[in-house]
Structures are given as structure tokens and as C-alpha cells.
Structure 1
Amino acid sequence: MQELDLPTIEGPDASYVRLVSSDNHNFLIPKDLAFASDTIRTMFEGPGAFMETETNTVHLKTIPSHILQKVCHYFAYRYQYQDLEEEFPDFEIQEEMALDLYIATHFLEC
């Protein structure tokens, strides 16, 4: 039986990261997508030793799950369209979450 090489969040070569919202919801997303955030990328690649690099987990204590879920959707949207030279669809945002989403994306630098 052939062993499957599954993605993991364990160790320094992990391909996934865990984002934890203020209300303790976990979002497992590919590291490539999470690195759309300059803040998250700096935690993993920047100078200094961050706890996040050991656990591949980022606790976002000011971002509730309904906002973090939308941020994760934006990461996927941005990744999907990053190299597209033609016009691409708008990223849909509900009006009632616009301010909270702006604050979160400003903190995450994405």
C-alpha cells in the first residue's frame, strides 16, 4: 500500500497554517494563501523568533470568526486572481461587515 503525502501544519516545512479567531474558531489554510498578509508572513519569515513559527498557529485575538472567515475567502480570491492580466470580478463584501473587515485587513496588511 502506497503512503499518501498529506499536507500538514506540523514542523517548519508545514504547508498549512492555523488561524484562530477571537472566539476560538480555527481556520486551516495553505501557507501560500495566508502569506497574502504581510503581518502573517513577517511572523513566519521576519527577524526575531515568533511562537507562530513553532506551532504554525496565529492567534488573532481581535478578529471574530465571521470576519476571519471572510479574510480567508479574500486570501483565496487574491491568490486566484494575482497573475490575471484581464479584468476580474469584484470581491463581494456585505455592507454590515465592511468596517470590521477594513480594520482586520488593515491590521493584517493585506
Structure 2
Amino acid sequence: MAITVTATAVKKIKEVITEQKLPSEVALRVGVVGGGCSGFEYKMEFDEEVSPETDILTEVDGVCVAMDKKSATLLDGTELDYHESFEKRGFVFKNPNATKSCGCGSSFSA
């Protein structure tokens, strides 16, 4: 079970790590929590405490991505991208497991 992270997203993640002066071994933790208008919400944060026993770990171009095993089931096959346009910018989850999502794209149902 894994997600893919686009080169654009990796570049932005590295920029944020540098801007926030985070340690180089920090992981980007992605996950799913209950809530939002469609049932589940995506969650992203930096985490220095990751464990191969409790997390699914993926490395993409020097960026460690961690997911708890419950979230990994709902995120399997998901692509994490970074989109920047005149109207909006931010990380975008393209989740093939989402059967319905809200208009803002931050929550989904599976």
C-alpha cells in the first residue's frame, strides 16, 4: 500500500522543510481522519517520530512519507500533487478510492 508523490509536490515539501528549518530527517505524515462534509478528511503534517512497526514508509527523492496503517488502506494508489494557479495553490490528493468528495476537495467518502 503506497501513495505516489509528484516531483512538483516533492519540490514544495523540500521548500517548506527548509523555510521552517526542520531537521532533514523529518517525515511528511499523510493520513485520513474522520470528519469533513463527506466523511473523511486528509491530514498532512511533519513528524520526527516515525516507526516501521506502526507506519508505512515511502521515500521519494529524499523525502520520507509516513502513513499509519489504517490511513494506508484508504490512501492506497493516491497521488499527492502540488497545484499552483492564480486562483488557488496547495497540495492535492488524487485518490482512486474516493467515491465522493466535497467541493473544496479536502474531504471524501470511500
Q: What is the TM-score when the length of structure 1 is the normalising length?
A: 0.31
Choose 1 or 2 for highest CA Rg.
1
Query: Which structure features the higher share of strand residues?
Result: 2
Higher relative contact order (CA 8 A, sep 6+): 2
